[in-house]
Structure 1
Amino acid sequence: MATLLRKIGLIRLHDRDTEDPKHHQGSLKGTKGNQKNNTKHCNNNTSNETNNILSTPEIKAKKFDHSVKDKPLPGSTKDKQGGKDTKEKQQSSKSSSSSIPPLAPHRQHCTQVRTRRLMKELQEIRRLGDNFITVELLDDNLFEWNVKLHQVDKDSALWQDMKETNTEFILLNVTFPDNFPFSPPFMRVLTPRLENGYVLDGGAICMELLTPRGWSSAYTVEAVMRQFAASLVKGQGRICRKAGKSKKAFSRKEAEATFKSLVKTHEKYGWVSPPVSDG
């Protein structure tokens, strides 16, 4: 019996050795494929396990402790240095922001308003047929005019002085500020040298409507000149004929200083020059 079993075992062993090699190779390939799949599966399991391990609360706590260690403690040297750097950055940003000039659109708008207003007034003055005033731009500057006043009250002593001295006009300089017509122009007499008539040192003119308090944007240059002509007559203005004094020219610096002084005086004690309604 044992001999028979041995013979059967030998036959089975012989059958395995005589199987188709291709079949045998296929079985080997299948085995290798299974090994690769098993390897991949193991790798995936390993990575998942690693991620799971890294996401444990203990590891997270270690990471947090490590990040805290990297940050400077309050009051430490690093923290002070960092605070200095932050302050320096803030100061530099403030200085850079303060050094930036203010935006220009508002100024540009004021310039446009002033230009349109003065161009319109120039056209209206040139349309006048009574030859009351004529205008010349000083050095082609629209914002500074030389205005010639050709007429005053013909019954006045000033008119007689003009005829006797062959003075064809009273010349005035008018400067328009940036925010004109919302602020008054600065106006002064250039020639001839006048006495009284609310004309003061330097050719400054004592008129309330030429101050911010008495000014209105509705006033035109023509209206201002008519008011000035009326104040000259009412204030008994005369052409200076004194030998030494008549040749001394008015100066702008003196006129500006005189005007500032008289404005302060009148704001304290009131105005005595002719009101706007006169003339």
Structure 2
Amino acid sequence: MATLLRKIGLIRLHDRDTEDPKHHQGSLKGTKGNQKNNTKHCNTSNETNILSTPEIKAKKFDHPVKDKPPVKDKQQGKDTKEKQQSSKSSSSIPSLAPHRQHCTQVRTRRLMKELQEIRRLGDNFITVELMDDNLFEWNVKLHQVDKDSALWQDMKETNTEFILLNVTFPDNFPFSPPFMRVLTPRLENGYVLDGGAICMELLTPRGWSSAYTVEAVMRQFAASLVKGQGRICRKAGKSKKAFSRKEAEATFKSLVKTHEKYGWVSPPVSDG
């Protein structure tokens, strides 16, 4: 019986110590060692309570944000990078404009100087008219060839006062040659081919020099006409067929390929 009562008392004491926090704290204050244990337990509990507050929770969860930015920030970064790349590409495009503007200025100054020099010529060798007031496209009238040539006799007999040529100057003139073709009259031989194309090496990138003037080119062309035994076409029907630019360009492109393979022959000016 006594043993049973002691067991019941122990059970009640155990229940009071585990179920009643106040009784538990009071029992811990009874000993010095328990106070130390209680102090340690409170510090741990306080740290847990502080970290569990809403404000600290927010701070705690904010730390990973620095390492892993949200999707929106990634997209913004991607957009920013694309904008930077587009700005770089767009900034590279206008960089071509100054170069192009410089080429235009060089071409303009050169052609204005050429016009002034041609107008100063006293022998009426050639005259120039601008196509639709375009400085970069000329109609050049060749008034003279060798007076001992058959071509000169043809010009006199057909009352042909001049040989008309069209000259177009590219963007990078005078560093690239102009494109030149015969318009009228329709010529045979004389290194004048289909469409009015002219077979002359100096009119190709390979044979061209920026030192050549329009006057010098025209004098070389006059010599080529005589050297190649050029004549005015008098055949019925064929003489009335006009040269075309498209045909001239195609012919010139073809002859350049041919001569680059087999070589060129250009007559000296003295032959004209």
Q: TM-score, normalised by structure 1?
A: 0.69
Please identify, of 267-276 and 183-192, the stretch whose mean Cα deviation from structure 2 is larger: 267-276
Contact 2:151 2:226 in 1 (8 A): yes
Structure 1: gaps spanning 5 or more residues = 72-76
The Cα of 1:19 is off from its aligned counterpart by: 61
The Cα of 1:272 is off from its aligned counterpart by: 2.7
The Cα of 1:152 is off from its aligned counterpart by: 0.2
Q: Deviations over 1:74-116 (max 9, x none)?
A: xxx889878976786677667x649945530111111111111
Change (3 A) 1:114 1:89: closer
Contact 1:197 1:231 in 2 (8 A): yes
Contact 1:198 1:273 in 2 (8 A): no
Between the aligned partners of 1:108 and 1:82, the Cα distance in structure 2 is 38
Q: Deviations over 1:47-97 (max 9, x none)?
A: 9999x99999999998698245762xxxxx889878976786677667x64
Counting matched residue pairs gives 270
Secondary structure of 1:17's counterpart equals: helix
Change (3 A) 1:157 1:59: same
The Cα of 1:271 is off from its aligned counterpart by: 1.0
Structure 2: gaps spanning 5 or more residues = none
Q: TM-score, normalised by structure 2?
A: 0.71
Please identify, of 56-65 and 124-133, the stretch whose mean Cα deviation from structure 2 is larger: 56-65
Secondary structure of 2:269's counterpart equals: coil
Contact 2:118 2:126 in 1 (8 A): yes
Secondary structure of 1:277's counterpart equals: helix
Contact 2:16 2:23 in 1 (8 A): no
Q: Which residue of 2 aligns with 1:187?
A: 180
Contact 1:177 1:185 in 2 (8 A): yes
The Cα of 1:188 is off from its aligned counterpart by: 0.2
Change (3 A) 1:174 1:17: closer
Between the aligned partners of 1:54 and 1:178, the Cα distance in structure 2 is 75
Q: Deviations over 1:133-169 (max 9, x none)?
A: 0000111111100000000000000000000000000
Contact 1:197 1:234 in 2 (8 A): yes
Contact 1:206 1:273 in 2 (8 A): no
The Cα of 1:270 is off from its aligned counterpart by: 0.8
Between the aligned partners of 1:17 and 1:211, the Cα distance in structure 2 is 111
Please identify, of 29-38 and 97-106, the stretch whose mean Cα deviation from structure 2 is larger: 29-38
Task: Give the share of equivalent positions with the same residue, in percent.
Answer: 98
Equivalent residue in structure 1 for 2:67, among 70, 77, 80: 70
The Cα of 1:269 is off from its aligned counterpart by: 1.1
Change (3 A) 1:57 1:220: farther
Between the aligned partners of 2:18 and 2:236, the Cα distance in structure 1 is 151
CA RMSD after TM alignment: 12.9
Please identify, of 181-190 and 13-22, the stretch whose mean Cα deviation from structure 2 is larger: 13-22
Between the aligned partners of 2:251 and 2:269, the Cα distance in structure 1 is 21
